[in-house]
Amino acid sequence: MFDAMRYKGFFLRCLLAVLGACLWLFSISSQPAQAAVDSYVVQYLQVTEPINLDLDGKGQTQQFSAADLSEGKVLFKQHCLTCHVGGNTLPNPKVSLSLTALAAATPPRNNINNLVAYSRQPMTYDGSEENLWCRQVSETWMPQQQVEKLAAFVLRAAQKAPGWATETFEP
C-alpha cells in the first residue's frame, strides 16, 4: 500500500510538471513575436519609430514601422534585386527608382497605392503599354500587405538611402 501511494504521488507530480510546462510553452507561443529590424533600415533609412508615407498623392498617408520596412527590404531583395540594384534599373538604366523618376512616371509611382498598382500590372514608364521586364505580382503570389511593405521600402529608400538610384548609373 505504501508503494502504491508513493507511485500515485510521483505520478501526480509528473503530471503537474508536464501540465505546467505545456502552459508555459503556450503562454510563450501566444505572445506576438518581435519582428527583426534590419540595421540598414535604422541606419540608412533612418527609421526607428513608425513613419508616415504618402498613400495616394492626395494627402493621405499610411504608417509603417521599422519592422515593416525590414520586411519590405527582404521582399525587395527576393523579388526585385535582380533588375533593381541599389534603386537603379538594369534593363533600362535611364529609369531608376529615384523619387524624381518615380514622380515623373505615367501615372506617377511616388506613393504607396500607385507603386502597388504598378506591381499588380506593370506598365512602361510612359504608361502606354505592358512592361515585359517586370513580373506581375498577383494577389495569390504576394498579399496586399506585403506589396505595401515592399512599396514602402522603395519609397523610403528613394527618400533617404545614400546612393539609392544614382542619376549617373552606367551598366
At 61 the three-state DSSP class reads strand
pTM of the model: 0.78
pLDDT-based confidence at 157, cuts 50/70/90? very high
The amino acid at residue 105 is A
The residues near 89 (Cβ < 8 Å, ≥ 6 apart) are 83, 95, 96, 97
- What's the Cα-to-Cα distance from 99 to each of 27, 84, 106, 112, rounded to whole Å? 45, 14, 13, 12
35-39 CB contacts, 8 Å cutoff, 24+ apart: 35/65, 35/67, 35/70, 35/71, 36/67, 36/70, 37/66, 37/67, 37/70, 38/66, 38/69, 38/70, 38/73, 38/74
Domain range spanning residue 120? 39-160
Cell 505592358 -> residue? 130
Flag whether 168 is in a domain: no
Flag whether 167 is in a domain: no
Average confidence (pLDDT) over 11-32: 44
For residues 114 and 138, state if they share a domain. Answer: yes
pLDDT of 75-127, one tens digit each?
999 999 999 999 999 988 889 999 999 999 999 999 999 999 999 999 999 99
Number of domains in the chain: 2
For residues 80 and 104, state if they share a domain. Answer: yes
